[in-house]
Chain A
């Protein structure tokens, strides 16, 4: 049973436009949501996070939006750059106990066309 779902396996956008990557979750005990970026032959690197008490967190070109009632979050990249081409993983965890371990989605492959 997938608790974190990234239903679109890939996304292609033009350089300079907005990239919107979506993520849905089912576990209402999740309190923290993180996005990781992964280039081929490298380990994932942390990109941005949001806690459940917020509905938006912004860091430069990257903004994450959280809709708790819909159990949905999205990562916006504006403007998109060719160097953003990578696999993006959505991950979630609770604050304590069994839910405190990160659960990852399957990832979305983003391609930014020059």
Chain B
């Protein structure tokens, strides 16, 4: 049981490049989330999904896109990378909302230069 896995662990992008951050969970959770954490800040929600085929914007969605074609996978796409997207990105999943704990992946450290 791997939980939530993310790839890659590290990435350096040049301004204007694009990339996809991969996230997979094996707990059969309906809910999945993408967060970013900037230095000295809490986690901010980028996008979330309540099930396959259903996604919605979080607090900071600009510059990102997501898709959810299966229960297991929730990739995050960065188009036209900008220095402001330099951050650590965490994917998470949960059985439900509110009371239910979220399980986090190990994170992807992204630098845009």
Q: A110 near B: Cβ within 8 Å?
A: no
Cα distance A1–B25 when bound, in Å?
A: 32
Q: A42 near B: Cβ within 8 Å?
A: yes
Which B residue sits closest to A97, measured CB to CB?
Answer: B97
- Is the CB–CB distance between A46 and B98 below 8 Å? no
- Is the CB–CB distance between B42 and A41 below 8 Å? no
Task: Using A93-B97, A94-B98, A100-B97 as known contacts, say yes or no to A43 and B40 having CB atoms under 8 A apart.
Answer: no
Interface size on A, residues (CB 8 A): 27
- Is the CB–CB distance between B98 and A43 below 8 Å? no
Task: Using A32-B98, A49-B99, A102-B102 as known contacts, say yes or no to A42 and B42 having CB atoms under 8 A apart.
Answer: no
Cα distance A49–B96 when bound, in Å?
A: 15
Task: Using A9-B40, A44-B90, A89-B43 as known contacts, say yes or no to A101 and B97 having CB atoms under 8 A apart.
Answer: yes
Cα distance A9–B41 when bound, in Å?
A: 10
In the complex, per-residue mask of A72-114: 1 if CB is within 8 Å of any chain B CB, else 0: 0000000000000000010001111000111011110000000
4 interchain residue pairs of minimum CB distance: A43-B104, A104-B42, A46-B101, A100-B97
Seed contacts A105-B42, A106-B40; 10 additional CB < 8 Å A-B pairs? A4-B42, A6-B42, A42-B107, A43-B106, A44-B104, A49-B99, A49-B101, A51-B99, A93-B98, A96-B98
- Give me the interface of A with B, judged by CB distance under 8 Å: 4, 6, 9, 31-32, 34, 36, 41-46, 49, 51, 89, 93-96, 100-102, 104-107
